[in-house]
């Protein structure tokens, strides 16, 4: 397998929607302490990852972007606004439905991280994939076990793949990963 093929596989498998789907299910389960948390996690994954990915795919099919990576940072603002609206709506449903605090905190952390990603993106192309991977690892480490920090190897793989595919520089992936972990950690101390 060539380096490019391996990088493409890593970036496709560990894309934000997939990481958020598995991560939010685990966060919801831990937050609730029973199976009902899986439903809250599914709502979180839908709002934070699946709906935004659907929007990206819809725009891609319309010809707005070449692929899901939206490598031109000047075209990313609408995506961030959709993510913010979607996470906001999901959080509102969670508040009204009395979701467990842990899943609400995760949603707020993802919302705050997206605000920072949007702000930074206006001047510099920061890696969203790296930010999401690091945030989910940090959230899982807090709600489940510090052993989840070993999944930081997956974040490193995401960073490597983004650089190998020339979508980002090393600095852009490191900044994204640092932002994701820091945002998650800041909200989890609340």
Closest CA to 159 of 118, 124, 129: 129
CB neighbour list of residue 120: distance below 8 Å, 6 or more residues apart = 126, 175, 179
Question: In Å, how far from its chain's centre is CA 65?
Answer: 20
Q: What is the mean pLDDT of residues 9-25?
A: 96
pLDDT digits (tens, 9 = 90+) for 20-40: 999 999 999 999 999 999 999
**What's the pLDDT tens digit per position in 85-126?**
999 999 999 999 999 999 999 999 999 999 999 999 999 999
Percentage of the chain exceeding pLDDT 90: 81
Q: Is the pLDDT of residue 188 over 80?
A: no
35 burial (CB, 10 Å; 0-12 / 13-18 / 19+) is exposed
How many CA within 13 A on the CB side of residue 75? 13
DSSP designation for 144: T
Q: What is the pLDDT of residues 38-81, one digit of tens each?
A: 999 999 999 999 999 999 999 999 988 777 788 888 889 999 99
pLDDT at 190: 60
Separation of alpha carbons 156 and 134, rounded Å: 9
Tokens read off for 132: 């999401």
pLDDT (average), residues 140-158: 89
Counting residues of the chain whose pLDDT is more than 70, the rounded percentage is 98
Tell me: the pLDDT tens digits for 73-89?
888 999 999 999 999 99
Q: What is the dihedral of CA 170, 176, 179, 183, to 10 degrees?
A: -150
pTM: 0.93
């Amino acid at each position: 397998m060539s380096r490019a093929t391996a990088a493409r596989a890593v970036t496709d498998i560990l894309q934000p929607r997939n990481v958020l789907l598995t991560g939010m299910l685990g966060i919801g389960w831990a937050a609730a302490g029973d199976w009902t948390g899986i439903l809250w996690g599914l709502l979180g994954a839908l709002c934070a990852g699946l709906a935004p990915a659907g929007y990206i795919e819809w725009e891609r099919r319309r010809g707005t972007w070449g692929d899901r990576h939206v490598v031109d940072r000047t075209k990313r603002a609408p995506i961030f606004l959709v993510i913010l609206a979607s996470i906001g709506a999901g959080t509102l449903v969670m508040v009204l439905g009395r979701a467990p605090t842990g899943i609400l905190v995760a949603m707020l952390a993802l919302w705050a991280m997206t605000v920072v990603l949007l702000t930074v993106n206006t001047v510099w192309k920061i890696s969203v994939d790296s930010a999401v991977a690091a945030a989910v690892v940090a959230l899982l480490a807090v709600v489940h076990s510090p052993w989840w920090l070993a999944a930081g190897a997956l974040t490193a793989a995401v960073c490597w793949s983004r650089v190998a595919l020339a979508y980002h520089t090393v600095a852009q992936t490191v900044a994204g990963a640092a932002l994701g972990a820091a945002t998650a950690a800041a909200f989890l101390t609340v």
